[in-house]
Amino acid sequence: MGRPPLPVGTLGRIDYLVVGKGRVRARAGFRDFGGRRRFVTRYGTTRAHAERRLREALRDRGGATAPAATADSRLAAAAQLWLAEVEASELAAGTKRLYRFVVDSYVLPGLGELRLREVTVPAVDRLLTAVRASHGAGAAKSTRSVLSGILALAVRHGALATNPVRETSLRRTARPAKTPRALTVAEAQRLREAQRLREKLATDPDAVRLDLPDFVDLMLGTGVRIGEACAVRPTTIDLDAATLAITATVVRVPGRGLVIQEVPKSEAGRRTIALPPFVVHLLRRRCAAVPPDAEPPVLFRSPQGRLRDPNNTSGDLRAALDRAGFDWVTSHVFRKTVATRLDEAGVSAWQIADHLGHTRPTSPRTSTRAAGWPAPKRPPHCSARCNGEPRPVPPGSARGDSPAGAPSQNMPRQRSHWGVREGVRWSSVGPW
């Protein structure tokens, strides 16, 4: 029986031959990563020198390198390799920052010193259980995603045969039902007036100094996310058409500080929305006050004249709302309020999702409507969409003339047909 082949990526016995004074040949067979056995020869002044040159040649042969992670590598080393891939990817800066935080805070303290061959399903399950108990279900979910990415890299490098994270699951626990709440029309009017009226602002100089009245009006009138509001620029506004293009958000990048990320939260977040009249008036006034060469070129700057930090703005907003008597209101409530107003006016779930920058619609009755508000009457096709039935093809589209051409709910969304032209019309929604 013949000898078994060399393992892939290894060399056999090295043969040496003195071919002259001060000249030694080193020769060995090498099984490359394509499975072929090749003989490699190098010369040196001594046996050690020739062997060193041979091993260097084998290391770089054909541009193929040995896997960076092996079964004996520690998880911490594989995590750094994975983070390097994440940094080189096109993921959003906030996502990269979250992944690094999860690695440093949960993965490395729990499993970082284990060798990859020691990372088993029970070990992963114990870590996820501990993270959930100490930091909550959200942290456990993020930890599972990050750990799955790290061990997927180990599988690609041949260090593991399978990804043990795939055999784990996060146990669901019963949570008390939380009734969504949005501002009623009267409360919204009261909130804006409380921000605008001279006597109210005179008693709250911090809100004026932090430029919160106009900022609240923008969010309450558009439903944009707080980071998106911080990134609004004159170039994204069409006052004649009364539209606002959401194309960016403000994020904090380690080592760089606050930057305008030219990618919203998701692909669905890149949208153009219609503006109600009072927001058009607000933006017209703000645009007129921004110099053409302003830096940063945003409408809402920090008190120091720099980009607004969404986290700091959220904290400032929290304090101002508490002082105004709206301790239950957050910036996300503004989005729910806009969704509720649109739903009350009979706007379809898909149009509301387009306006808010959601990937898919959710039922306004369960996620956006204020408690106790009756659902308005809708056309039959609107109710069908809210119940998860196929979305009808917009008139004039490529498949609009075919009675059987309605796409399934898994078909790609035709945003060009459901944008501003056929999206929200604030004249039909009614005044705030």
CATH annotation of 75-167: 1.10.150.130
Find the range with the poorest average confidence among 103-117, 134-148, 357-371.
357-371
What's the whole-number mean pLDDT along residues 261-272? 82
Look up residue 75 and give its amino acid.
L
The rounded percent of the chain whose pLDDT value lies above 90 is 29
What's the whole-number mean pLDDT along residues 408-424? 41
pLDDT at residue 184 in the model: 60
Helices assigned H by DSSP within 324-378: 331-344, 349-356, 364-367
Q: Name the pLDDT band for 106 (thresholds 50, 70, 90).
A: very high
CA angle 248, 350, 408 (to 5 degrees): 115
Sheet holding 271-274, edge to edge: 237-238, 243-246, 271-274
Domain-wise residue ranges, the chain? 15-63, 75-167, 185-323, 335-394+406-429
The backbone torsions φ and ψ at residue 74, rounded to the nearest 5 degrees and listed phi first, read -80, 155
**Residue entry with tokens 């409507």:** 369
pLDDT at residue 186 in the model: 62
The span from the CA of 136 to the CA of 295, in Å, is: 40
The span from the CA of 92 to the CA of 100, in Å, is: 13
Find the range with the poorest average confidence among 55-59, 115-119, 385-389.
385-389
The span from the CA of 251 to the CA of 313, in Å, is: 12
Q: What distances in angstroms separate CA 362 from CA 141, 226, 269, one per listed residue?
A: 22, 21, 15
The backbone torsions φ and ψ at residue 317, rounded to the nearest 5 degrees and listed phi first, read -65, -40
What are the strands, taking DSSP E only, across 219-336? Answer: 237-238, 243-246, 249-253, 257-261, 271-274
**11-29: per-residue pLDDT in tens?**
788 999 999 888 999 999 8
pLDDT at residue 142 in the model: 94
pLDDT at residue 16 in the model: 92
Do residues 345 and 429 touch, judged by C-beta distance below 8 A?
A: yes
31's enclosing H/E stretch is strand 23-31
DSSP notation for 255-266: TTEEEEESS-SS
Find the range with the poorest average confidence among 32-46, 74-88, 351-365.
351-365
Helix and strand counts by DSSP (H, E) for the chain:
18, 8
Look up residue 180 and give its amino acid.
P
Nearest to 300 by CA among 258, 354, 241, 242: 258
Q: For residue 264, is pLDDT > 70?
A: yes
The span from the CA of 234 to the CA of 397, in Å, is: 32
Select the more confidently predicted residue: 151 or 410. Answer: 151
Q: Name the pLDDT band for 176 (thresholds 50, 70, 90).
A: low
What's the whole-number mean pLDDT along residues 52-77? 76
Q: What distances in angstroms separate CA 112 from CA 58, 151, 278, 384, one per listed residue?
A: 31, 12, 55, 50
Q: What is the pTM of this model?
A: 0.61
pLDDT at residue 108 in the model: 94
| Residue 268, C-beta contacts closer than 8 angstroms, at least 6 positions apart | 353, 354, 357, 358, 359, 413
pLDDT at residue 252 in the model: 86
Sheet holding 23-31, edge to edge: 15-20, 23-31, 37-44
